[in-house]
Amino acid sequence: EKDGYEHFMLKEIHEQPKAIRDTLAARLKEGVVDLSREISLTPEELKRFDKVHIVACGTAYHAGLIGKSVIESLVRIPVEVDIASEYRYRNPILTPSTLVIVISQSGETADTLAALREAKQAGARVLGITNVVGSSVAREADEVLMTWAGPEIAVASTKAYTSQLIAIYLLGLYLARVLGTQPEEQLLEVTEALPRLSEQVKSILEDHGSIRKFAEKIAQHENLFFIGRGLDYPVVLEGSLKLKEISYIHSEAYAAGELKHGTLALIEEGIPVIALATQQAVHDKMVSNIIEVKARGAHVLGLGLEGRTDLDRSVDEHITIPETLSLLTPVLSVIPLQLLAYYTSTARGINVDKPRNLAKSVTVE
Ligand code: F6R
């Protein structure tokens, strides 16, 4: 059942090109995203929403952070993102013109479900993004957008996460088209780049020798840092969570500009820093942050875009992802981080698919 892979996690990492394709299929045709068969809200109803809340836990929450940027940039509606266990107890401001998006692979996470119920109770419309047909989220949400990643067995979520991102891009593009919030050409640019992601993920998976080597190095460490700016920031949060949960190595993910506000004090000789630099708009700022940690002795793995040669001069080790729009890089940049977590875990002899203390689906508070 592992199809020759040593672990479910590795199998599921390699299933991502297909999960992306399947999640896009039937929703994207000839450069147009159409969700009208799945989402029953009419254009008039969609126009009435004046804000969006995204609520989820763990990895799904990290997908939600990317969802905020995607929806805000494409749809120009304010989006708040909350951890479900916080949201349900913070008395959020919910009205009938709030669209609440809950994201849950299993569709059974207790806090996420409680948030869904609370939002419905308050009269908000709830859209669920889930991977399990017939799950509680699928049954109870007003609207459902399925991810088609197939069953995810490994505790550490991989293909469900990239599929959640695809669902979010589809939703953002659909809302933007229906509400007319972006020029057609701009939507077309994103819509045309989306289906290429599947092949691009495949190419990253085919060539990951340097990630494996770096994983063997960090397996000796007890502390490390991830840094990024813009959309790279939620991706490093996800990379750090993945590494913690299956390698038991402590790591922290920082918005790189925050380093000087305290954390830089922890950077000392030899500490590994994984730096993402895929966002064009903040590229030079990110390079300055890398130089800052290098000056304190950090050993830096830089992850940038193919064809940007200036990064390799400032880092100790350099890996690249294929070029795509800045908005879409999270689907690609998370792949090396998943592999890094996986190979670090195996280098440490940990039970990758079933890390200690964790359950696949958190159905109790
Ligand atoms: C981490 C991981 C968890 C889940 C979280 C939410 O790899 O898998 O953080 O993302 O427990 O689970 P779902 O998406 O099922 O609600």
Residue 299's SS3 state is strand
Average pLDDT over residues 107-130: 97
Q: What is the pLDDT of residues 134-176, one digit of tens each?
A: 999 999 999 999 999 999 999 999 999 999 999 999 999 999 9
Which of 62, 109, 112, 153 to mutate for ligand 1's pocket (most ligand atoms within 8 Å of CB)? 109
Does 287 have pLDDT greater than 80? yes
Question: What is the reported pLDDT for 202?
Answer: 98
361 Cβ inside 6 Å of ligand 1: yes
Question: What is the reported pLDDT for 91?
Answer: 94
187 alpha carbon to ligand 1 midpoint, in Å?
30
Q: Which two tokens stand for residue 355?
A: 């890390």
Does 361 have pLDDT greater than 90? no
Question: What is the reported pLDDT for 136?
Answer: 98
- The active-site residue out of 120, 202, 354, 360 is 360
Among candidate residues 50, 279, 33, 56, the one with its CA nearest the CA of residue 167: 33
Question: What is the reported pLDDT for 208?
Answer: 85
Q: What is the pLDDT of residues 220-269, one digit of tens each?
A: 999 999 999 999 999 999 999 999 999 999 999 999 999 999 999 999 99
184 alpha carbon to ligand 1 midpoint, in Å?
35
Angle separating helix axes 329-347 and 159-179, nearest 10 degrees? 170
268 alpha carbon to ligand 1 midpoint, in Å?
33
Which of 12, 105, 356 to mutate for ligand 1's pocket (most ligand atoms within 8 Å of CB)? 105
338 Cβ inside 6 Å of ligand 1: no
Average pLDDT over residues 286-291: 96
Question: Residue 20's pLDDT band (boundaries 50, 70, 90)?
Answer: very high
Question: Residue 207's pLDDT band (boundaries 50, 70, 90)?
Answer: confident
Residues β-bridged to residue 176: none
Residues β-bridged to residue 318: 302
Q: Which amino acid is at 361?
A: S
Does 312 have pLDDT greater than 90? no
**pTM, full prediction:** 0.97
Whole-complex ipTM: 0.99
Query: What is the percent of the chain where pLDDT is above 70?
Result: 100
User: Is 213 designated active site?
Assistant: no
Name which residue sits closest to atom 5 of ligand 1, judged by CA. 58
Q: Which residues contact 111 (CB under 8 A, 6 or more apart)?
A: 57, 83, 84, 85, 87, 88, 362, 365
d(CA 349, CA 121): 47
Among candidate residues 153, 216, 191, 162, the one with its CA nearest the CA of residue 7: 153
65 alpha carbon to ligand 1 midpoint, in Å?
14
Count of beta carbons in the 10 Å neighbourhood of residue 14: 17
Output b/e per residue, 24-40; b: 16+ Cβ within 10 A: beebbeeeebbbeeebe
Q: What is the pLDDT of residues 315-333, one digit of tens each?
A: 999 999 999 999 999 999 9
Query: What is the percent of the chain where pLDDT is above 90?
Result: 92
Does 33 have pLDDT greater than 90? yes
